[in-house]
Amino acid sequence: MPVLADVGKPVYVACWAHQTDKNRVMWTRPFVANDNEISAAKEQFAGYIVNAGYVKSLSVVSTSCVWNKKSEKTVADINRIKASFNYSTDIGVNFIYKPFSEVSAGKQLHVQCEVHKTAASCTAYGLAFEQGNRGQDKDDTQAAAYYQMGCGMGDPVGCRNLAILYAEGRGVPVDHAAARRFYEKACNGGEALSCYNLGVAHATGTGGPTDVAQGLAFYQKACDLKFANGCNNLGWHYETGTGIAADRAKGLKFYGQACDLGSTVGCNNLALLKSQNPDLS
């Protein structure tokens, strides 16, 4: 039975399932060779071939995984092996192995969240689903569920991440009112981006009534939390007199704060306002 290997590095894990009349083989990327990886690969491979419908039950097959340490193959070698593969009795399986270290990290977060009720772990577990890492498949619905848990336990980052999903309609239906609520919870916990986004929501009437004065209050809070865009938006409102009495000196002040916090837009606005109003200091 041919063992197919990935290309480019000297160490590969190869797994197969043997039935009376068929050998099914799979190949994965190379990983550090250790017993943990072998055990994890075998467990995942066994589950995969059942879930993918290659076999009805593991009771009728035997599975095995080994390190194929000498499978240094060129692209031509791999293509030759694939071309000679007898698909009447052997079926190549495109199994994607999740490294033990990543799966282990995900399991630890799951335990910390579900068992120990650690808010930040719930949020981190949600992020693993959103990004598709730490052994988790990308799943925005699961991400939203764990962000909800983290938020409910008091983690402002969980509330912020959940608000973003509601605003973008990922894993949950688009709901700007819900996004506004969760941004507010996060902002109350000192999460600067949420204060800024909440300011935008109030100033533009997204997810609720338009209230520019309230929007300015949240921009101010974001600015106080060293979020540059909050300072820049305050500067613009004071410069233009939008929703508040015009005060170019205050506009200059907030543009300056935004610039000091690294905002290129803030620096540009500061320079422009100064050039148009040389009397301002």
Same domain, 107 and 221: yes
What angle do the packed helices 192-204 and 212-224 form, to 10 degrees? 160
| 81 or 180: which leads in pLDDT | 180
CA–CA gap between residue 6 and residue 56 (Å, rounded): 28
Same domain, 241 and 175: no
CA–CA gap between residue 201 and residue 203 (Å, rounded): 6
Give 70's pLDDT tier (boundaries 50, 70, 90). Answer: very low
Same domain, 119 and 220: yes
Give 229's pLDDT tier (boundaries 50, 70, 90). Answer: very high
Domain boundary among 97, 125, 143: 97
> What confidence score (pLDDT) does residue 18 get?
58
Same domain, 41 and 131: no
Same domain, 151 and 254: no
Residue at 180 is within a domain? yes
Residue at 5 is within a domain? no
Model confidence at 237: pLDDT above 90: yes
266-280 tens-digit pLDDT:
999 999 999 999 888
Same domain, 168 and 281: no
Residue at 158 is within a domain? yes
CA–CA gap between residue 93 and residue 19 (Å, rounded): 15
Residue at 185 is within a domain? yes
Ranges 50-64, 123-137, 215-229, most confident? 215-229
148-162 tens-digit pLDDT:
999 999 999 999 999
CA–CA gap between residue 225 and residue 156 (Å, rounded): 14
Domain boundary among 185, 204, 225: 225
Model confidence at 38: pLDDT above 80: no
What are the tokens at 76? 């031509």
Q: What's the order of all strands across the beta sheet hosting 12-18?
A: 62-68, 12-18, 23-27, 90-93
| 68 or 27: which leads in pLDDT | 68
Counting the structural domains of the chain, the total is 3
Same domain, 140 and 87: no
Same domain, 178 and 280: no
CA–CA gap between residue 28 and residue 16 (Å, rounded): 12
Question: Do residues 12 and 6 make contact, with C-beta atoms less than 8 angstroms apart?
Answer: yes
What are the tokens at 194? 């949420």
Containing domain of residue 180, as a range?
101-225
List the CATH number of the domain containing 209: 1.25.40.10
Model confidence at 31: pLDDT above 60: no
To the question of pTM greater than 0.75 for the whole model, the response is no
Model confidence at 90: pLDDT above 50: no
Q: Per residue, what are the HEC states of the chain?
A: CCCCCCCCCCCEEEEEEECCCCEEEEECCCCCCCHHHHHHHHHHHHHHHHHCCCCCCHHHCEEEEEEECCCCCCHHHHHHHHHCCCCCCEEEECCCCCCHHHHHHHHHHHHHHHCCCCHHHHHHHHHHHHHCCCCCCCCHHHHHHHHHHHHHCCCHHHHHHHHHHHHHCCCCCCCHHHHHHHHHHHHHCCCHHHHHHHHHHHHHCCCCCCCHHHHHHHHHHHHHCCCHHHHHHHHHHHHHCCCCCCCHHHHHHHHHHHHHCCCHHHHHHHHHHHHHCCCCC
47: left (phi over 0), alpha (psi -120 to 50) or beta: alpha
